[in-house]
Structure 1
């Protein structure tokens, strides 16, 4: 069975990157951006003629859960430029730091599809665990970590060889995964155990297990690496973790069924999508309090932060 969103009651999935804009435009941007599909934005080099300067263009890769495809969207033109067949039930998606590869998790196939962004073709299919759900790439781009909901572990992929080099046991029903800025630690939410596993990426072992709220969903780490914010979908709050001590600092009430979370590039705010409330909670990371609650679309699910020219 394909799992769209793991709640105590099975619910549907939707989600689209959130874009950071000027404060006067913030509410409308968040409302417009939280729509169906898991998406990653990839900067790609544009073809150039002799004497011209090569510039990057942004392309969005959107997983289509029931279509078993990935839609490729040219952001500048807001046009779909390709549709790529992948495995069964694609969910999580992540791009390499250089933008040359996109990794797509296929829930039903128990695989990861690797897309070459130059050709928009699948160049490798990698077997992973049972019911893979999400994927994140290390800051250096050398490894991809895939959470496997059904087998309670994390598959570590060598992105140079597209092979699994380690399988890390974690808690029950691992879902979200995020890295510290230096890539030395991976934080994995274990939904059924109500905790977070901290992985040392040098040894690929769990070095700490931190209690969270009820039904932890996703996790985001501040740019400075000092805090991790964990959404707890069932208890309706966010757990704030001190990454130096691997202890819980505080718990912040949000809207109903918080799922996606992202921290601004400056690290001053965390944006939390509240799936059942149809809102976004804005957390001030200096005080760890909700300073604003913004309206969004129906069932907002995932959030991403980007600079907008």
Structure 2
């Protein structure tokens, strides 16, 4: 056996031994209620990095592999790309249209679709070269929201100024069918994990409209929610939709099986805007634009856990990494992106896995 082979074998054995020891220590600690080295009692999620970005960052979307985050700069008409590993902006800002308000990345990670509100267009970025491909796609007046079907075949765009939703075929990057009439001033849109339905917030109507994506027609009556609903996120199992109500500082929860609101609205911070649900479905992260914080909702109890997390001024959107260890928050008032480390706990015990694996990346080294 070569020295390289022996080294690899020994490294593998050491890794297995460390993982085995960690499992034993963690179990022992939970049973006896003690804290092992590298462990601490459960604590609120905290900001671990702040990344300077372009002018008035608005929306953020992360690639499926988690390597890059795409951020729209509302005040500069550009998109910046963050290398999430290096925690820094890479390359020059990508010029797009006027007032880029939203961005979504295709499930295969090859394209990013950017909504240009002032132009009434959609720009398409090739994420391999970080350049815009083709001409901007014309939609309707003042588009603001975007979502892509899980099979990446179609893009749904909310046209706030036209009270409609436009559908784009990603194979040709052309609009298909007629605009779908929804409620007054639609802003956010999210698609169920099975791709069957698109949920649209109608900000001026205080409702959510449901679209059947097979027929691109509205189903049922609009769902009443809170005042001035802006964005929404659907849980990974597709059972619930979380809607931010900017006008009354709450989050409404919709049961997608019955399309009715469950329980009472959840009070969060001032002017809630963006929302994202963790990949395991346990938490919903809400940006409170009016008080510079992020609220965390326990989706099992639909209640806020711990104190709000301070971030930058006027946080607008939030996206969570695919491995569920980081939340990225755009702060339009300070031209930054806050990076929140998401707690990974075993019962009442939160472990810094990095101290046991020899890695500086903490929980990432185990939970990737």
| Structure 1 position 159 matched with structure 2 position 170 | yes
| TM-score under structure 2 length normalisation | 0.71
Q: CA deviation at 1:287?
A: 1.5
| Structure 1 position 273 matched with structure 2 position 287 | yes
Q: CA deviation at 1:118?
A: 1.9
- Could you tell me which runs of 5 or more consecutive residues in structure 2 were left unpaired when the two chains were aligned: 1-40, 326-363
| Structure 1 position 212 matched with structure 2 position 231 | no
Matched residues in 2 for 1:279 and 1:34: separation? 18
| Structure 1 position 289 matched with structure 2 position 303 | yes
| TM-score under structure 1 length normalisation | 0.84
Matched residues in 1 for 2:112 and 2:81: separation? 11
| Structure 1 position 111 matched with structure 2 position 92 | no
Aligned to 2:212: 200
Structure ID, larger Rg: 2
Q: Secondary structure in 1 aligned to 2:305?
A: strand
Matched residues in 2 for 1:193 and 1:25: separation? 35
Q: Mapping of 1:13-24 within 5 angstroms?
A: 24=43
Aligned to 1:28: 47
Matched residues in 1 for 2:257 and 2:170: separation? 28
Contact 1:34 1:296 in 2 (8 A): no
Q: Secondary structure in 2 aligned to 1:108?
A: coil
Aligned to 1:300: 315
Matched residues in 1 for 2:320 and 2:58: separation? 16
Q: 1:79 to 1:68 in 2, by over 3 A?
A: closer
Aligned to 1:171: 183
Q: CA deviation at 1:23?
A: 5.9
- Provide Cα deviations, 1:188-231, integer angstroms capped at 9, x if missing partner: 00000000001100001110310010000110111111111111
Matched residues in 1 for 2:62 and 2:255: separation? 29
Contact 1:34 1:300 in 2 (8 A): no
- Provide Cα deviations, 1:37-84, integer angstroms capped at 9, x if missing partner: 3222225xxxxxxxxxxxx67122221212122223333332321322
If each structure's helix is expressed as a fraction of its own residues, which one has the higher value? 2
Matched residues in 2 for 1:202 and 1:178: separation? 15
Aligned to 1:15: none
Q: 1:25 to 1:254 in 2, by over 3 A?
A: closer
Matched residues in 2 for 1:178 and 1:34: separation? 28
Count of matched residue pairs: 275
| Structure 1 position 243 matched with structure 2 position 256 | yes
Q: Mapping of 1:125-140 within 5 angstroms?
A: 125-140=136-151
- Could you tell me which runs of 5 or more consecutive residues in structure 1 were left unpaired when the two chains were aligned: 1-21, 44-55
Aligned to 2:240: 227
Q: Mapping of 1:91-102 within 5 angstroms?
A: 91-102=101-112
Matched residues in 2 for 1:150 and 1:211: separation? 21
Matched residues in 2 for 1:282 and 1:83: separation? 31
Matched residues in 1 for 2:133 and 2:272: separation? 35
After superposition, the CA RMSD in angstroms is 2.0
One of 65, 80, 86 as aligned partner of 2:74:
65
| Structure 1 position 148 matched with structure 2 position 159 | yes
Aligned to 2:25: none
Q: Secondary structure in 1 aligned to 2:190?
A: strand
| Structure 1 position 40 matched with structure 2 position 61 | yes
